[in-house]
């Protein structure tokens, strides 16, 4: 057990081995309590995904500006729940449907960028976004024959480019 793992165990008051869903639930409860939020924490597990959901009226602070706080919590949760390194299970943190609303907005932005790329015959850059959001755009436009996508730049300023398809 690493020093980080021991520190997390001590901070969460753990002295026994917990299963990943229990670790995630305790972690999220500690975070929302520390933020003083009046919300509930729900944990669901599906194939390849461990979902932590924060539900309540008071989730704006948890989501943060442009989702920066919830993205940071998700990143940390992945590392704390699966400290041994890359896992086939992906931790996803959501708050009152934020992830689906954000995905819908990203798909709309992707469609707008594709239309602009085709209308003007040139590549269109989207704003920098985290890998999980770039994946939504890539997957949304993947089946279109008239445009292509690729990412450029370095984290955290990595961005996506939508271009007219060659041909």
Tens-digit pLDDT string for the chain (167 aa):
556 555 555 665 555 689 999 999 999 999 999 999 999 999 999 999 999 999 998 899 999 998 999 999 999 999 999 999 889 999 999 999 999 999 999 999 999 999 999 999 999 999 999 988 999 999 999 999 999 999 999 998 999 999 999 86
Question: Where in the chain are the domains?
Answer: 3-96, 100-164
pLDDT on residue 11: 61
Residue 13's pLDDT is 54
pTM for the model stands at 0.79
Position 82 scores a pLDDT of: 96
Nearest of 159, 158, 167, 156 to residue 72 by alpha carbon: 156
pLDDT at 9: 57
Q: Which pLDDT belongs to residue 66? A: 87
Using CA atoms, how far residue 132 sits from 22, 73, 98, in Å, is 24, 14, 13
The CATH code that applies to domain 3-96 is 3.30.300.20
Q: How many helices, marked H, and strands, marked E, lie in the chain? A: 6, 6
For the domain spanning 100-164, the CATH number is: 3.30.1370.50
- How far CA 34 is from CA of 78, 81, 90, 163, 166, in Å, comes to 19, 19, 24, 44, 52
**What is the structure's pLDDT at 16?**
67
Selection from 46, 43, 106, 37 nearest residue 69 by Cα: 37
Residue-level pLDDT at 166: 86
Q: What residues pair up with 32 in beta bridges, in sequence order? A: none
- What's residue 2's pLDDT? 54
Q: Do domains 3-96 and 100-164 have the same CATH topology?
A: no
Gap between the Cα atoms of 101 and 108, Å rounded: 11
């Amino acid at each position: 057990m690493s020093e980080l793992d021991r520190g997390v165990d001590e901070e969460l008051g753990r002295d026994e081995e917990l299963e990943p869903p229990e670790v995630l639930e305790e972690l999220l409860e500690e975070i929302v309590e520390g933020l003083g939020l009046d919300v509930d924490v729900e944990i669901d597990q599906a194939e390849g995904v461990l979902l932590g959901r924060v539900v309540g009226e008071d989730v704006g602070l948890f989501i943060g500006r442009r989702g920066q706080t919830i993205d940071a919590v998700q990143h940390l949760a992945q590392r704390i729940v699966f400290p041994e390194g890359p896992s086939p299970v992906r931790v996803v943190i959501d708050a009152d449907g934020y992830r689906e609303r954000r995905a819908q907005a990203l798909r709309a932005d992707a469609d707008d960028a594709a239309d602009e790329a085709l209308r003007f015959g040139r590549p269109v850059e989207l704003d920098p976004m985290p890998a999980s959001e770039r994946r939504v755009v890539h997957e949304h436009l993947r089946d279109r024959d008239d445009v292509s996508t690729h990412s450029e730049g370095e984290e955290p300023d990595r961005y996506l480019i939508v271009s007219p398809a060659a041909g």
